[in-house]
A = this chain, B = another copy of it.
Amino acid sequence: MCWVPVDASSDFPLENLPLGVATFPDGHTAVVVRIGDFVLDLPRAGIEPELCRRDSMLNLMASGRLSQVRQRAGELLCGEERADLLQPVDAVECRLPFAVGDFVDFYSSIQHASHIGRLLRPGGNPLQPNWRQLPVGYHGRSGTVVVSGTPVVRPWGLVAQGEGPARLQPTGALDFELEVGFVIGSAGRAIGADEADRHVIGAVLLNDWSARDIQAFEYQPLGPHLAKSFATTISPWVVTLDALAPFLVEPPVQEPLPEPYLRAGRPWGLDLTLEVDLNGTTVTRTGFSTMYWTFAQQLAHLTVNGASVRPGDLFGSGTVSGEEPGGWGCLMEISENGREPLTLDDGSTRTFLADGDTVTLRGWGGREGTPRIGFGQCSGRIDAAPERGW
């Protein structure tokens, strides 16, 4: 029996034990395990102190000892009570758990890609010819991946002005994107679609903040750049693939059948529930199991050309959207690209994000009566664009 009180609705029961990095009230920083509303100080508990007495969990990730660490933490939490090793999570500052190496973002929800395609190319084929043959993706900026709670400053960028020249201005179309991010803990290249669990150690929630007006002007022909490079927020807890294993499910049937390197014999879909909260209103509730391309296929694809991955690399699922209104993973979809304002519970309306807005992603696996394995919150408040001399 676990001696830490854990509420039945908590994201963090004994079955979860995700890892992160926290700075304690006395100023020291360490790799920690989350349990209920507390964190367990791993080096203080004598668990891999050399690897965990750090401001990053990268060395622990790369060590291959994550499973043992979670097991030892679980044993400790069910043994003799050691409340001195815990700290209330509200009393610590959660840090970015690791410096991100390469960040690749995919575009793997067929509902999202089709919806966006219809908005941008009305009357045309909503999906590009490549979409069903490979997981479309691109590299994002790793140096601006920040942890939940970090304010997001409204970016400046060039925005088209009808037929005239584009002008530098703060974005007027700031959006969130509801995603799940996957964390690499072990290096490799040309990774088979059924080998993903040898390299992916866990997952986080990920908000790929996007400036739609900047994106629309800049993205031809080399893809999004400044529209997304200003910030990407991840949740502080790396929920391990071990903890997520009960939620692995068969993904949707793929038609046409992809090339052999993208075919998997094991079920790599993930049955998770995801939500977006905007200033206290739940604006999105959807599931992750409908994603067309799985994270295993994404990893197989991004390494099939011989490209290497290394511990600390991160890749995002792409925006997660369902079929129906209420299940759309970004404001561009919810507001039909700014044409249909959304009404929040406080009566205010939004097409895109306003200064002061707070967006919080939540996500978990588990149904009634089974332990809930959750990610906690991935949250960011929009700060006004800074004044510029230009």
Contact = CB atoms under 8 A, between A and B. Distances in A.
B223 A130 contact: no
Given A219-B221, A222-B107, A222-B136, A141 B306 contact: no
A136 B221 CA distance: 8
A143 B187 CA distance: 11
A326 B138 CA distance: 33
Contacts of A225: 104, 136-139, 302
Contact of A226 (B301, B308, B310): B301
Contact of A305 (B104, B157, B166): B157
A218 B139 contact: no
Contacts of A261: 168, 388, 390
Nearest to A301: B226
A158 B259 contact: yes
A374 interface: no
A134 B167 CA distance: 10
A260 interface: yes
A223 B226 contact: no
Contacts of A107: 222
A390 B211 CA distance: 40
B218 A134 contact: yes
A226 B307 contact: yes
B143 A309 contact: yes
Contacts of A221: 128, 136, 219, 223
A347 interface: no
A102 interface: yes
A256 interface: yes
A156 interface: yes
A123 interface: no
Interface in A219-257: 219-226, 229-231, 256
A211 B305 contact: yes
A217 interface: yes
A219 B128 CA distance: 10
A309 B305 CA distance: 28
B128 A220 contact: yes
Given A136-B222, A222-B224, 16 more contacts: A102-B143, A128-B221, A130-B217, A133-B166, A141-B307, A143-B308, A143-B313, A155-B305, A156-B190, A165-B259, A166-B259, A168-B259, A168-B260, A190-B386, A223-B223, A226-B305
Q: Closest 10 CB pairs between A and B?
A: A223-B223, A155-B305, A139-B139, A138-B222, A222-B223, A226-B305, A229-B307, A230-B305, A260-B390, A168-B259
19 contacts: A102-B141, A104-B225, A130-B158, A130-B218, A133-B165, A134-B166, A136-B221, A136-B222, A138-B225, A142-B142, A144-B308, A156-B306, A165-B259, A190-B386, A219-B221, A221-B223, A226-B305, A260-B390, A261-B388
